[in-house]
């Protein structure tokens, strides 16, 4: 498990350090302060295949392959003319990403991977998505939910490792009437999640059952495929009614503990922050709250213990 996190030269982070990380970590702060970017840096550093992680981040940011240029890449990973690359360090790893005029270079422990900045970029993307195993161990679930490719390819690993029960448990938090769940080919390129409901003979697409169902599917899918790894979930509260927040937090703590997953969450919701504080207080696992704030022009992370978290949440800590 990552004990601390230090990020240098990633996007707006000149240098940011988070100490005393827990099993489940919640990041709050004003809009555009860097919460999602912090998750990206964790994902890039923890991913077994950093090229896939990079491609996924570009997709989430809606930057297409034609937009991968030296100019916009240096906005992510430092300046090739100064030699200042991106570095992310944790308890048991050090990851560095450098840009030169021809390639992106990923270094982690004894691993080194290069991605050319030219017409071969599209081949690099195809290669990164050719092996679903490259995603196991680290996943970023965006505010829109998991990628369709991820749902299609990762479902079978839940079956292999006998973890589908976590999906059902999660869906029943949002809709207790759910009987079964699976992924079905409906003529699209990728299989889509469907569920059966008590009293109905038809299998219904989760997307038709509301945002909360899709969100719970994404959360539980992520936990199920990142055993002994890292899960990042951006804007975790999306689609979830505030009355469900504490049960969702309890579920995340419990499954993360069982599967040895370290979780990083962001939220804009004070209700979710309060629910997280209560769930962390109940759990035997450590939960930590970090508030990103800008002071004297620099970003810093203010951390809260579980007791401080309860007090701060009740005093309406600034979350957006």
Which residues have CB under 8 Å from 120's CB, separation 6+? Answer: none
Backbone angles phi, psi at 282, to 5 degrees: -80, -30
Higher pLDDT, 15 or 99: 15
| pTM of this structure | 0.90
Residue 219 pLDDT exceeds 90: yes
- What's the mean pLDDT in 74-86? 63
Residue 120 pLDDT exceeds 60: no
What is the C-alpha to C-alpha distance for residues 68 and 42, in angstroms, rounded to an integer? 21
Percent of the chain scored above 90 by pLDDT? 45
The SS3 of residue 200 is coil
Residue 249 pLDDT exceeds 80: yes
Per-residue pLDDT at 213:
95
Percent of the chain scored above 70 by pLDDT? 84
Kindly report which listed range (37-51, 103-117, 171-185, 259-273) carries the lowest average pLDDT score: 103-117
In-domain check, residue 160: no
Per-residue pLDDT at 125:
63
Looking at the structure of the chain, the number of domains it has is: 1
Residues 127-159: pLDDT tens digits?
A: 766 666 667 789 999 998 888 888 888 898 898
Residues 259-299: pLDDT tens digits?
A: 999 999 999 999 999 999 999 999 999 999 999 988 877 88
Residue 103 pLDDT exceeds 90: no
- Assess contact for 7 and 88: CB atoms under 8 A: yes
Tokens 């230090």 -> residue: 6
In-domain check, residue 158: no
Return the closest-CA partner of residue 272 out of 305, 235, 237, 307. Answer: 237
Per-residue pLDDT at 72:
62
**DSSP conformational letter for 274:** H
Per-residue pLDDT at 174:
95
What is the C-alpha to C-alpha distance for residues 186 and 20, in angstroms, rounded to an integer? 46
Q: What is the pLDDT of the chain when averaged over all its residues? A: 85
In-domain check, residue 190: no
Cα 28 versus chain centre, distance: 14
- What's the mean pLDDT in 179-208? 88
**Which of the four pLDDT bands, split at 50, 70 and 90, describes residue 164?**
very high
Per-residue pLDDT at 312:
72
Q: What is the CATH number of the domain that holds 106?
A: 3.40.50.300
Per-residue pLDDT at 126:
65
Q: 257-261: list long-range contacts, CB under 8 Å, 24+ apart.
A: 257/23, 257/283, 257/284, 257/285, 259/163, 259/223, 259/224, 259/226, 259/227, 259/228, 260/1, 260/227, 260/228, 261/223, 261/226, 261/227, 261/228, 261/229, 261/230, 261/231
Residues 26-56: pLDDT tens digits?
A: 999 988 888 999 999 899 888 888 878 888 8
Return the closest-CA partner of residue 150 out of 124, 131, 174, 123. Answer: 131
Per-residue pLDDT at 64:
63
In-domain check, residue 221: yes
Per-residue pLDDT at 217:
96
Per-residue pLDDT at 124:
64
In-domain check, residue 264: yes
In-domain check, residue 170: no
User: Residue 17 is part of which domain span?
Assistant: 5-145+215-314
- How many residues belong to the chain? 320
Residue 177 pLDDT exceeds 70: yes
């Amino acid at each position: 498990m990552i004990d601390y996190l230090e990020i240098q030269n990633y996007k707006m982070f000149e240098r940011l350090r988070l100490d005393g990380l827990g099993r489940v970590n919640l990041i709050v702060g004003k809009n555009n302060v860097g919460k999602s970017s912090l998750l990206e840096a964790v994902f890039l550093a923890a991913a077994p295949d950093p090229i896939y992680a990079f491609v996924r981040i570009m997709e989430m940011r809606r930057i297409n392959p034609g937009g991968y240029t030296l100019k916009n890449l240096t906005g992510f990973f430092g300046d090739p003319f100064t030699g200042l690359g991106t570095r992310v360090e944790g308890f048991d790893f050090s990851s560095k990403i450098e840009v030169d005029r021809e390639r992106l270079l990923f270094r982690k422990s004894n691993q080194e991977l290069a991605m050319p900045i030219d017409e071969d970029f599209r081949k690099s993307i195809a290669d990164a998505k050719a092996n679903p195993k490259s995603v196991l161990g680290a996943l970023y679930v965006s505010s829109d939910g998991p990628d369709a490719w991820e749902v299609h390819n990762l479902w079978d690993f839940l079956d292999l490792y006998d973890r589908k029960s976590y999906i059902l448990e999660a869906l029943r938090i949002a809709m207790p009437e759910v009987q079964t769940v699976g992924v079905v080919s409906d003529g699209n390129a990728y299989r889509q999640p469907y569920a059966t409901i008590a009293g109905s003979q038809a299998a219904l697409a989760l997307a038709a059952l509301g945002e909360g169902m899709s969100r719970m599917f994404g959360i539980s899918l992520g936990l199920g495929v990142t055993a002994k790894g890292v899960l990042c979930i951006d804007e975790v509260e999306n689609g979830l009614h505030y009355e469900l927040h504490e049960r969702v937090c309890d579920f995340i703590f419990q499954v993360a503990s069982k599967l040895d997953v370290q979780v990083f969450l962001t939220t804009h919701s004070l209700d979710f922050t309060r629910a997280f504080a209560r769930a962390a207080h109940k759990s035997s696992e450590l939960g930590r709250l970090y508030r990103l704030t800008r002071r004297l022009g620099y970003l810093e992370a203010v951390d809260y213990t579980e007791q401080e978290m309860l007090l701060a949440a009740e005093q309406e800590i600034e979350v957006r």
